[in-house]
Chains A and B, each alone.
Chain A
Amino acid sequence: MTSDDMKKRAESAKEKQAQYGEDIDLDNYEYAVSEPSEIESIDDVSPEDQSLVREVGFDTSQENVSGSFIQFDTESILADVLLTQEGLEVLPMSQALKQYDWLKEYLWKAVPVDVDKYTARSELEIYNGYFIRAKAGTKIAMPVQSCLIMKKNQTVQNVHNIIIAEEGSELHIINGCATPSNVEQSLHLGVTEFYVKKNAQLTFTMVHRWSEKTDVRPRSAAIVEENGTYISSYALLSPLKSIQTFPKVRLFGSGAKSDLYSIVYGSKKSKYDIGGLLSLEAPRTSGKVISRSIATDSSEIIARGDLVGLSGQTKARLECDGLLISDSAVIRAVPMLAAHAEGAELSHEATVGKVGAEQLNYLMSRGLNEEEATSLIIRGFVKLKVPGLPPALQSSIDDAIKMSLEGGM
């Protein structure tokens, strides 16, 4: 599709409301007016900003990573690859599009541009983001870290990312997003498209910390080819104004696999509408959608999971568990299963409830007081173990969870 066609399709969807989530008036925000400038090195990032990115797990020493990317609003960008890391590319999207003509084919391929007004608007305004690619056969053991920071008031951070794990490659990305708490009202539009080629493995770990005035509308999707594996884990532990996201993974080639994990710690008056869809399109594809939600204060959490079995010999499972800590909070678990082919084995389990009296009494009989017992149950509940994740990334998740529990309880 030419870029004119793309713009036309985007125009046509400009007013199209999203399937889920509260509607946002996109004209209330300012958009970038020029292409972002480049930051030469991490040393040029101010100490305050360095500590901000560290909060979402960014390693400013860059010792244990293979590459780094930071974007402030839609204004300035740092992109860096360890010199010794062969087969890895980390580029600002604007540069990558100039450099690689073929990359256009990947734009809006996994996420259709006309999904809703957010994708449409993202296309129509100036955007940037990252392009990360592991070349065929390369195993990038250390993670690539990427970080998106929003500092400006009343603005939109418009991000479009593309990640490609070429055939037989292995790539691990950790993505942190943050807004400092003094930011007035802002909107994050983040489009991320993942392409996992034959026999490739991609893990994508997100640790996000938004501000109470930020609305977040990520739009992401993945296409996984034959025997490829895509593991996504999302830890969202801070309050925010609202988030609505429903990433879709297409298991396109036979033997493709995908697990989507999320942990949401809801607080204040935040509204979370978070889901995940696995589309099993070829034989022997499989996966899991696992979500844990904890709702405190007056937060509202909707946890959606959708399994679509389009081919036989497929297997997928949905687990939605919610723990309600406050009487004014709400959790809704919405499991959806749709089998369109014989031999699509889909299952789900959803639980939503308060801390169980039986568990509390049991722990109290071992000498813990009620508060200690409750806290132990909550801490246990929020532990999210992601099989297949490198230990360093698992500990980023663990640390973030620990930090937010210590802050919140």
Chain B
Amino acid sequence: MCGNLLETRDLRVEVNGVPILGGVDLEFKPGLVYAILGPNASGKSTLAKTIMGLPEYKITGGDILYNNESILRKTITERAQLGIAYAFQTPPSISGVKLDDFICRICPDYQCKAESDTLMGETCASKNDLYDNFERLGIRNLAKRDLNDGFSGGESKRSELFQVLSMRPKIMFLDEPDSGLDYDSLKVVGRELRTLREKGDTTLVIISHHRYVLEFLEVDKVYILQQGRLVYTGDMSDIPALEEKGYEKFLSEVIG
């Protein structure tokens, strides 16, 4: 009706019987960039994982709508295929599955044929693209490694970003894509996201504590969660004050 790509309505979620989200209403419109901010343990990751459909996050009330239809009954796979993606904060390692093969598998663009070990020395245009992209993200060294196995924090972030970008989703939730990155990697990530924003066909939802990426991307809307509730909706102009005052002071001033 109002052109939301995705929205949560009075979303209530518990984990192991403990209530985490206590009724959250959020809207995400096509092509815009959102920041979800809030103190540690306020429920930011929980929100994103619940939208992705991870089973330990139990919905006890409310709804999640995607193009105005409830997705509560949809499996993780179905949600992913609808165009929802989540970049994990700490992805599990999968032995024997190489990162480059996996990206080939999940990305419609790279036609990488069978397993890479049977492709020794063989090159095809799309495989070259794949490696260019590895190079650009500064993780060429991870291409032949087992998925997430021993990746450093910063490597993990870029590998997650690469995977999620490769899926060409309609909306992506990036869970602290900037934490643990050095300045150069931060720039790389910023640039990737900026390019995506300029294309304008993906909704970006960034969970972050840092100013750099949010400002570089010029986020359209800022949501602040606190103790499992949405307590403030603002925009990029709030970020400097937030950084200066911290959540507690900032929130007490704006909501009294």
Residues of A within 8 A of B (CB): 356-359, 361-370, 376-377, 379-383, 398
Contact pattern, B 231-242, Cβ under 8 Å of A = 1, otherwise 0: 000000000000
Q: Name the residue on A nearest B52 (C-beta).
A: A365
Complex-state Cα separation, A383 to B167, whole angstroms: 26
B92 near A356 (CB under 8 angstroms)? yes
Q: How far is the CB of A357 from chain B (nearest CB, A)?
A: 7
Complex-state Cα separation, A370 to B147, whole angstroms: 18
- Contact partner of B77 (CB less than 8 A), chosen from A367, A376, A379, is A367
Complex-state Cα separation, A100 to B78, whole angstroms: 70
Please judge, given known A-B contacts A362-B91, A380-B97, whether A357 and B167 are in contact too, CB under 8 Å.
no
Pick 28 A–B contacts, CB within 8 A, sort by A: A356-B92, A357-B55, A358-B92, A359-B92, A359-B94, A361-B54, A361-B76, A362-B92, A364-B80, A365-B52, A365-B53, A365-B79, A365-B80, A365-B85, A366-B80, A367-B80, A367-B167, A368-B77, A368-B105, A368-B106, A370-B75, A370-B77, A376-B94, A376-B105, A377-B97, A379-B96, A380-B147, A382-B96
The 5 closest A-B pairs by CB, nearest first: A380-B96, A383-B96, A364-B76, A380-B97, A367-B80
Complex-state Cα separation, A365 to B52, whole angstroms: 7
Task: Indicate whether B152 reaches chain A with its CB closer than 8 angstroms.
Answer: no
Chain B interface helix/strand/loop/mixed: mixed
Q: Name the residue on B nearest A378 (C-beta).
A: B96
Please judge, given known A-B contacts A366-B163, A367-B106, whether A376 and B80 are in contact too, CB under 8 Å.
no
Complex-state Cα separation, A381 to B97, whole angstroms: 8
Q: Name the residue on A nearest B84 (C-beta).
A: A365
Q: How far is the CB of A385 from chain B (nearest CB, A)?
A: 9
- Contact partner of B146 (CB less than 8 A), chosen from A362, A364, A365, A380, is A380
**B-side contacts of A361, CB under 8 Å:** 54-55, 76
Q: Name the residue on A nearest B82 (C-beta).
A: A367
Complex-state Cα separation, A364 to B75, whole angstroms: 9
Given contacts A361-B76, A365-B76, 11 further A-B contacts (CB under 8 A): A359-B94, A361-B54, A362-B94, A367-B77, A368-B106, A369-B77, A370-B75, A380-B97, A380-B146, A380-B147, A383-B96
Complex-state Cα separation, A356 to B94, whole angstroms: 10
Complex-state Cα separation, A376 to B146, whole angstroms: 12
Q: Name the residue on B nearest A366 (C-beta).
A: B106
Complex-state Cα separation, A381 to B146, whole angstroms: 11
B117 near A380 (CB under 8 angstroms)? no
